[in-house]
Structure 1
Amino acid sequence: MDRLQKVIAHAGFASRRKAEQLIVEGKVTVNGKIIKELGYKVSSTDKVEVNGIPVEREEPVYFLFYKPRGVISSVKDEKGRKVVTDFLPAIKQRVYPVGRLDYDTSGLLLLTNDGEFANLLMHPRNEIEKVYVAKVKGIPAKEKVRSLEKGILLEDGRTAPAKVKMISFDKRKQTAIMEIAIHEGRNRQVRRMLEAIGHPVMKLKRERYGFLSLQGLNVGDMRELTPHEVKQLRTLATASKS
């Protein structure tokens, strides 16, 4: 038996909070009866509907995917470009990405059918560290690196302090490779941060998400998260919001 709002969130209809709002507003029925009680529990045989639309329940699944460049972080694309789910033909569940990686960015991406879990990780106050490796044009001076570490002003506000490490540079080609760790999840954030200091990104990869890494995976590979890893991620996200 699961709480009604949890079932709705797991199905990807809405976040847990939004699901609770839908219940209170009388938009949810169980076996044809309107339910407004937030603590109401349902079994796997109960028929749940939101605004008349059946909630199809699946066992929650959680995957770590090494996204290649040139792939859309979505389940479909109107222009016919490759999407992340094209790489998961054997997965029967309707999974979707937790957050996004740009079309031209490779690296670690989580996928799930657990709406509550996805919303927890993507919460604005979530402070799970994300580590990127960027190849940039030019060799950033120390003061520019420090500006990233202090927080830099972008068009949507000042960024939180980042951890920045210079990995290598090539004086002849005038390029550098940097590691940048951030906690935020703004659109194209790392690219915009590096553009703001005058060193646009040539290549970008997300290497780590919290304690998760790409170890043992090749581009385009995926693996299922262990129950312990899922629990650790929930703990990390919950701790960051408290």
Structure 2
Amino acid sequence: MNLSARLIYRRTSAVVSSTTMSRLVTFDATNTLIRLRYSPGDYYAAVAGRHGLVVSAPEADRSFRHHFRTLLAEEPNFGRGLAGGWRRWWTTLVGRVLTDASATPPSSETAGAVADRLLADYAGVECWRTAEGAVPLLERLAARDIRLGVVSNFDPRLHRLLERFELSQYFDFVIASYEYPFCKPDQRIFELARRSAGADRCTHVGDSVRLDYEAARAAGWEAVLVGSVPPEAGVDPAHLCPRLADLEDYLN
């Protein structure tokens, strides 16, 4: 089965006429469609506390940022293709954070129990919220017959998250990078989305200069960056949307 065939279409307009110009807009997930309710350090410290650990939330935040970047470099795409996959990847990250931020290093059993709880909680509404303006925006875009998708560096929990927030109904497809042999900024993930939608004009919306804006443009797409970046980031101001709710103004 080819990669395109593995995508699940969610709207009835899945077949696009080859004679009609079609528009596709895809979204990153984290910090674009959904946002964390708490900083990782705060939540890790709270869960660890229930297991008898004393964890510094600020230190856990610093450790999380450091080890997240380091582990992604060591094992890209959340450990895809390696023994244990994404679950082991996140368990390793949790263990490193607890070791750095705990007053007393945890036992392997305690660290494993904390990791199991965190893996479950980060699959649901306990840790996430929808970005402000996301639902009204998606409703308006869907009403315009713009095809919508998600292209995100994420593990398989993304599907469950979008369903729990009732966002799945708006998307023709959802590409969680872990389910494929490439992730952003690889141009193949954007080509997969384009071919899957059969679209002529494609725009990607995200919050990362490198993974979303630059990667999409390198793939021949239009791109819009949500949020703010320093001038030296090299983002065209015309492609910088301060609020997701205002995105339509940047899609014309």
Structure 1 length-normalised TM: 0.26
Whose Rg is larger? 1
Q: As a proportion of its length, which structure holds more strand? A: 1
TM-score normalized by structure 2? 0.26
Flag the structure with more relative contact order, 1 or 2, with Cα contacts below 8 A and sequence separation at least 6. 2
